[in-house]
A and B are shown apart, each in its own frame.
Chain A
Amino acid sequence: MSNDFILDIRNVTKRFPGVVALDDVSIKIKRGEIHGICGENGAGKSTLMMILKGVHPWGSYEGQIFYDDHELKLEDRSIRQASEEGIAIVYQELTLVPNMTVGENVFLGREPRTKTGINWNKLYSDTQKILDKYHLDIDANALVKNLGVGKMQMTEIAKALSENAKILILDEPTSALSEEEIVHLMEILKTLKSHGVTCIYITHKLSELFRITDTVTVLRDGRVITTQPIDKLTEDALISHMVGRKIKERFPKGNRKPGKEILRVEDLRAVDPDDNSREVIKGASFNLREGEILGIAGLMGSGRTELVSTLFGEYGRITSGKIYLDDQEVKIDSANHSMRLGISLVPEDRKKYGLVLIQDIQKNISLANLDKFSKWFKIDFNAEIKKTSEFAEKLEIKAPNLFVACQTLSGGNQQKVVIAKWLMSEPRVLIMDDPTRGIDVGAKYEIYKLMNDLAENGIAIIMISSELEEVIGMSDRIMVMSAGKSRGILEPKDFDQEKIMAMATGY
């Protein structure tokens, strides 16, 4: 076989009881290229990764994988074997130990030894060498918990590279990064490429494929739809490959007619509840009208999440400023209070804040609304099932039934469960914190449509988003935040990526 290809996946089929996760998948990956893999959730990307990582060992799938001219035979759950072969994975959810330094994390489990213990000098100097070689701008002695998400990811990459990785697999690497950090990551990937490291880049974000990859493979329903050089593809072509149908526009145009003002925030300031000296919101003012989608743009750490969770009564301690609901001043002190006032929050990071993953769909949806079905301390199960299935159908949650654990659902469906929970509480103001992070194009589209529906029915929506295109595509007005302050509200005529970035980065 030709030596041009470092990884040659031939006719791999992986079956799970009742499902074919990968169906006769063949992908060839050239040495030294950045190979993008995209597809909707459930397309088979993660199963493929699990095979390359050894979670699904050799023998549990059909077909062959050739790596560097020999067949890759990973044993059961031997992740170390994959890294010894030179295959390293940077996960979507970072896997670092927060209370250890960058150096300790990089060499975790492989610490250089002296006769009696760990050779700390060698550990740190080796770490520094790797950081220097690939232009990773981090301090080897810094504690990981003090780093931003971007630098944590660099640490993770350094860890992979320290194991002499020949193939680096990045799984949704930018889902938690700000625009600035993404630019930085792209630089790093280029450096890696110049050092001959092959990258497999898995993402939902099409723009990134065009920015960085050489070749793209599209997966759908466990099959390879196409593998093509990126310069032969267009964004529209990619989307239609991914979803198997043409999506005319990424952001459905709603017929929203904003009505009267419902919520007004005036010069709100708040401090971290655990540290009164740290001001997290340093003056935010905006208003929100019925039936409107107000986008909040800003970098990570700009105070956007802090602002909405303070509004929801669950985070900051308000030091000054006022919140008016229907022209009445309100002081919201808990999530429960907020819900009773008709304000609901779809929190960021659905796994951490949105769902009880071990519980089923029904229990998750009804959690915030149990009093609707309870009489005399008793839950009426039938009423509960009836109401939850109504919402599950309305939101088109795809699952065999309502009694499967949420951890088995795809990201898009998990997000729908969280949204269903909050819709059931019949909010007048729905705050959505990065509602489409890490979910695929098709599911995103469905969520956008849903947002339009809700707004058309008079619900006021606040949407935080890390993707500028999304904020611009979906909002009636955009509030830009930076450094804990609201920097102004833009009307549609001023919607412009550069303008927003300028406001978001200006201090």
Chain B
Amino acid sequence: MSETITYLKQQVRKNIQTYAIILAMIVIWILFSFLTEGRYIGAQNISNLFRQMVITSFLAIGMVLVMVTGNIDLSVGKLAGFVSVVVAQFQANIWFHYIPNRELLTTVFSVLIGIAVGTIFEVLQGYLISYLHIPAFIVTLGGQWALNGGIMIITEGKTIPANQPLFSVIAQGYLSPNIGWVFAGVVILFMVFSTLQGRRNKIKYGFKPLPMLIEVLRLIALAALIVIYVAIVNNYNGVQIPVMLLAITAVIMSYVSTNTPVGRYAYAIGGNREAARLSGVNISKNVFNIFVLMGLMSGISGVVLASYVGYGTIAAGQGYELDAIASTVLGGTSTLGGIGTIFGAIIGSLIIASLTSGLQMMNVPAAWQYVLKGIVLVVAVYADVYLKKNR
């Protein structure tokens, strides 16, 4: 038992930043719940809140890794926007001519094309940044402008609809309550299985696994969160499909960042580029890889965006890159590189969505929403600096 407590204390100290930001989020929720007389915490709002954060969250996931390598990507907002208008263009004007009435096929093609466009654009930018050594800030600023132009060319200033029912499911669909519960069950089983697998591996190598009590507590806590979440959203329409996609992507990318050489090298490059280089890490190749992943995320984000709003417009993706950067920074990613987690970025993104949603419910004018969000961002980062200094 004492072992358990020491372990918990250690974990708290080690991840104090993560806990602090989760705490901040809970405080925000409680505050808005009071201010809106409970409407904020209602099933409908919670459901919408999580849905609203999805598009920037995809970008934030990619941005964490980009920033961990010590780079930045200012083009991703417009890239998602560009992807969304390309997809809308295909949906509205192209499939109709070549493969009419094949909704499943056209939806699959739209998704693939969207992801490909995002990835190819970042392949290009990644090449310029990592192999030609042009600073990422400049390349991606140029990229942002070019994409903005691209959006204008494709839309010709008009709104392009992208609202075929099947395509709309990607961002607007819900799992029926029963399937939602099945999904939750599968996730929980997977967690139990991977925990047991992890313990077995440790024992195989002759290490002492964590006390069973801790593992059980951890599993129960996570399972409880999932069950509560599903119960809440089932009260409204069910588990949101885009949120499910985001969760799966986040888990995969989180795995990539911690359990693969690609991720490990990214952190090493951001932590000390020279040391990584002299350790035989191919800096150019690895930075390039990270930008390609960013492109993949931007592609997914753009497809979800098109499906979410149901059309492609000239303003698509405007300013999303900054929301994504703010999310990562709120989530503890260092602007200097070497530090940051995907989980943190998701929480950061959720905080921003929570603020926006709360302020909207309280009918705060848009102008003041910006002012307040700006203040929260800066204060939150100061709190982080302060915590680090006085740990």
Contacts and interface: CB of A to CB of B under 8 A. Distances in A.
B271 A353 contact: no
Interface in B260-315: 260-262, 264-265, 267-268, 271-272, 274-282
A353 B274 contact: yes
Contacts of A359: 267-268, 271, 338
Interface stretch (A31-39, A377-385, A447-455): A377-385
Interface residues on A, range: 20 to 34
Nearest to A314: B278
Contacts of B205: 382-383, 385-386
A355 B275 CA distance: 6
A379 B267 contact: no
B159 interface: no
Contacts of A336: 280-282
Given A371-B261, A379-B261, A379-B264, A353 B275 contact: yes
A358 B339 CA distance: 9
Contact of A356 (B207, B271, B280, B282): B271
Nearest to A403: B14
Contact of A368 (B272, B274, B280, B282): B280
Contacts of A347: 278
Centre residue among B268, B275, B276, B277 by max chain A CB count within 10 A: B275
A382 B274 CA distance: 27
Contacts of B206: 386
A345 B278 CA distance: 8
B102 interface: no
A356 B275 contact: yes
B15 interface: no
A356 B272 contact: yes
Interface string A322-359: 00000000000011101100000101000011111111
B268 A367 contact: yes
Contact of B260 (A367, A379, A382): A379
A143 B264 CA distance: 39
Contacts of B279: 335, 367-368, 421
Contacts of A374: 260-261
Interface in B103-126: none
Given A334-B282, A357-B271, A370 B201 contact: no
B278 A353 contact: yes
Contacts of B267: 356, 359, 363
Contact of A335 (B260, B265, B278): B278
Interface in A31-70: none
A309 to B, nearest CB: 8
Nearest to B202: A382
Nearest to B281: A367
Nearest to A313: B280
A353 B205 CA distance: 33
Interface in A203-251: none
Contact of B207 (A339, A354, A385): A385
Centre residue among B259, B276, B278 by max chain A CB count within 10 A: B278
Nearest to A373: B261
Contacts of A382: 201-202, 204-205, 207
Given A358-B271, A359-B271, A377 B261 contact: yes
B3 to A, nearest CB: 15
Given A335-B280, A353-B274, A367-B281, A378 B259 contact: yes
Nearest to A359: B271
Nearest to B204: A382
A314 B268 contact: no
B338 A358 contact: yes
A353 B279 CA distance: 9
B109 to A, nearest CB: 28
A326 B357 CA distance: 69
Nearest to B336: A358
Contacts of A385: 205, 207
Contacts of A383: 205
Centre residue among A312, A357, A382 by max chain B CB count within 10 A: A382
Interface string B318-359: 000000000000000000001100000000000000000000
Given A314-B278, A334-B280, A334-B282, A363 B264 contact: yes
A363 B281 CA distance: 13
B282 A379 contact: no
B279 to A, nearest CB: 4
Given A339-B280, A347-B278, A367-B279, A356 B338 contact: yes
B336 to A, nearest CB: 10
11 contacts: A334-B280, A352-B274, A355-B272, A356-B275, A356-B276, A359-B268, A370-B265, A377-B260, A382-B201, A386-B205, A386-B206
Interface of B: 201-202, 204-207, 259-262, 264-265, 267-268, 271-272, 274-282, 338-339
Given A353-B275, A363-B264, 7 more contacts: A314-B278, A345-B278, A355-B272, A368-B281, A374-B260, A379-B264, A385-B207
